[in-house]
């Protein structure tokens, strides 16, 4: 047993792996991560771009797909879903032993759909039906246009990982649409699950930049504190939303809480501790999806202790102090959402271009 097991057994938090590549499946590396305490897995277009571009693990399958005359984007999805299905099989024992709480693998709808409700719904249905596994999460961006898609997916029994959340206000909207989706679904609700992926480190990166521009000692003293405070306030919202008569009625029908998932938890600033966004966000009914390098750091020297709700008032005071410095957090989170959608779209487009080039070489 190590720290990853302790996170779950002692603190009720589920550590997930924020990475996937073909070589990890074929070599047994992913199974070893599960043995070490990993309880789920997330992926995104950038992760697949790096995996497919940086190795030759996909060349044989891609060559076969090109030889059969398939479309390049269809070939991309064949490569992705092959990895996802393999990971789903490896995580299935965790799913069953946890009674459907953990053991999930996430695959994201195409990033260019982030502002198209109807096409997002269609894509979520397609992935859900095509992959057809109870421990699949379809990732839907938590944009304004994504909210109705989230509600519809939940109503139809599609488990959803809501991604690209930065603001507490948008998180409140996501919770509401999750609850509405459950309320519109008839019968037993226990087979439907969801997490809400709240992005962490990028908040500090942008807020720190703005505090540095202010330049005062008071502003500089607030650097590195916005992201954790933002997440801790979000956790208080989670506790409030999933309690009381409305939630009790859904829980009686088997509904699961929509757990907060802390994403983007590697430390971008080398001056900060490498396990900052793991050590400070530990608490029950939460998930932290962690890149493999940070997972290894936490296994080596992380601290297992409940920290997510250590002082909610202090977290609110920190955000208020940052606002007093002239940093508009609403403006920051709006910017980060747009940048997140753009970054995933860029990765998706760049990978398709690489695959087009490889296909042309194979055909010649």
303-351 pLDDT, tens digit each = 999 999 999 999 999 999 999 999 999 999 999 999 999 999 998 899 8
Q: Give the count of beta carbons closer than 10 Å to the beta carbon of residue 313.
A: 8
362: closest CA among 59, 51, 56, 54?
59
Q: Is residue 290 part of a domain?
A: yes
**How far, in Å, CA of 112 to CA of 107, rounded?**
15
Cβ-contact 175, 240 below 8 angstroms: no
The residues near 355 (Cβ < 8 Å, ≥ 6 apart) are 52, 62, 72, 75, 76
Burial (CB < 10 A; 0-12, 13-18, 19+), residue 357, is exposed
DSSP of 167-213, one letter per residue? Answer: -HHHHHHHHHHHHHHHHHS-S--TT--EEEEEE-HHHHHHHHHHHHH
Q: Is residue 329 part of a domain?
A: no
Beta-bridge mates of residue 41? 17, 105
User: Cα angle at 167 between 161 and 172, to 5 degrees?
Assistant: 65
How sure is the predictor about 108, in pLDDT bands with cuts at 50, 70 and 90? Answer: very high
Q: Is residue 209 part of a domain?
A: no
Q: Is residue 317 part of a domain?
A: no
Name the domain count of the chain: 1
Catalytically active residues, by annotation: 139
Cβ-contact 138, 154 below 8 angstroms: no
**How far, in Å, CA of 30 to CA of 36, rounded?**
10
Q: Is residue 11 part of a domain?
A: yes
- The residue range of the domain holding 259 is 3-203+224-310+337-363
CATH number at residue 268: 3.20.20.70
How sure is the predictor about 298, in pLDDT bands with cuts at 50, 70 and 90? Answer: very high
Q: Return the SS3 of 109.
A: coil
Residue 114: what pLDDT?
95
Residue 68: what pLDDT?
87
Strands 194-199 and 259-263, sheet pairing: parallel
Q: Classify residue 41 by its DSSP letter.
A: B
Q: Is residue 326 part of a domain?
A: no
Burial (CB < 10 A; 0-12, 13-18, 19+), residue 129, is exposed
What are the strands, taking DSSP E only, across 61-120?
A: 105-108
Residue 301: what pLDDT?
97
8-56 pLDDT, tens digit each = 999 999 999 999 999 999 999 999 999 999 999 999 888 988 888 888 8
Q: Is residue 212 part of a domain?
A: no
Q: Classify residue 263 by its DSSP letter.
A: E
State the DSSP H helix or E strand holding residue 13, giving kind and residue range, or none if neither: strand 13-17
Q: Is residue 135 part of a domain?
A: yes
253-292 pLDDT, tens digit each = 999 999 999 999 999 999 999 999 999 999 999 999 999 9
């Amino acid at each position: 047993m190590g720290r990853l097991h302790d996170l779950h057994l002692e603190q009720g938090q589920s550590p997930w792996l924020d990475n996937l590549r073909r070589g990890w499946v074929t070599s047994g590396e992913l199974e070893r991560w599960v043995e070490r305490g990993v309880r789920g897995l997330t992926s995104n277009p950038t992760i697949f771009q790096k995996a497919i571009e940086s190795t030759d693990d996909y060349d044989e399958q891609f060559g076969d797909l090109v030889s059969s005359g398939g479309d390049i984007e269809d070939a991309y999805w064949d490569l992705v879903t092959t990895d996802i299905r393999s990971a789903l099989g490896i995580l299935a024992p965790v799913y069953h032993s946890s009674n459907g709480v953990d053991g999930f693998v996430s695959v994201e709808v195409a990033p260019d759909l982030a502002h198209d409700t109807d096409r997002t719904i269609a894509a979520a249905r397609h992935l859900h039906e095509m992959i057809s596994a109870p421990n699949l999460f379809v990732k839907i961006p938590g944009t304004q246009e994504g909210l109705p898609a989230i509600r519809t997916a939940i109503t139809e029994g599609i488990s959803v990982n809501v991604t690209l959340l930065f603001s507490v206000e948008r998180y409140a909207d996501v919770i509401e649409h999750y609850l509405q989706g459950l309320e519109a679904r008839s019968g037993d609700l226990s087979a439907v699950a969801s997490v809400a992926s709240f992005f962490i480190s990028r908040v500090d990166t942008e807020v720190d930049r703005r505090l540095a521009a202010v330049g005062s000692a008071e502003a500089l003293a607030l650097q590195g504190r916005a992201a954790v405070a933002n997440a801790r306030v979000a956790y208080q919202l989670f506790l409030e939303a999933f309690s009381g008569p409305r939630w009790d009625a859904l829980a009686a029908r088997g509904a699961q809480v929509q757990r907060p998932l802390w994403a983007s938890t590697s430390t971008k600033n080398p001056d900060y501790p490498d396990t900052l966004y793991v050590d400070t966000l530990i608490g029950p009914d939460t998930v932290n999806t962690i890149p493999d390098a940070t997972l290894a750091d936490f296994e080596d020297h992380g601290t297992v202790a409940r920290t997510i709700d250590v002082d909610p008032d202090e977290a609110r005071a920190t955000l208020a102090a940052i606002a007093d410095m002239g940093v508009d957090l609403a403006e920051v989170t709006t910017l980060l959402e747009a940048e997140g959608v753009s970054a995933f779209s860029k990765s998706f487009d760049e990978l398709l271009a690489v695959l087009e080039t490889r296909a042309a070489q194979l055909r010649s």
